[in-house]
Amino acid sequence: MENLLDILAVTFIFGGGSLFLLAISPVGKAIADRIRGAGKGLPNGLARQIEESQLALLDEIEGLRQELSEVQERLDFTERLLVREREAPQLPQGEEVGQ
């Protein structure tokens, strides 16, 4: 049992010291800012630029969807024409008229 207490004491001493050093380091401060939500802010110009890029991409995606829809309609129309042509009754072959 004393062995276990010694191991726990050493773990808490070194672990606590490591956590303290991490907390006062720049990495620890960045982690704390991230947890508090203070690290989320982007420069105003960058945030606006990202938002404009997203809106432009969304507009382009919508245009591509519309074009794809039109292409699908044309394909459906072409397929219907081909099926109609195949199913149309063929005229019997005519007889040659002799002279």
Counting the structural domains of the chain, the total is 2
For residue 70, tell me if it sits in a domain: yes
What's the predicted TM-score (pTM) here? 0.45
- In the prediction, which pLDDT does 95 show? 75
- In the prediction, which pLDDT does 80 show? 93
Structural domain that includes position 9:
1-41
- In the prediction, which pLDDT does 13 show? 83
Burial 31-65 (b: 16+ CB within 10 A, else e): eeeeeeeeeeeeeeeeeeeeeeeeeeeeeeeeeee
Same domain, 4 and 34: yes
For residue 4, tell me if it sits in a domain: yes
Same domain, 47 and 74: yes
- What DSSP element (H or E) covers 10? helix 2-24
- In the prediction, which pLDDT does 47 show? 77
For residue 31, tell me if it sits in a domain: yes
For residue 62, tell me if it sits in a domain: yes
Q: Return per-residue pLDDT of the chain as tens, 99 residues.
A: 677 777 878 887 877 778 777 778 888 888 877 777 665 666 777 878 888 999 999 999 999 999 999 999 999 999 999 988 887 777 677 777 765
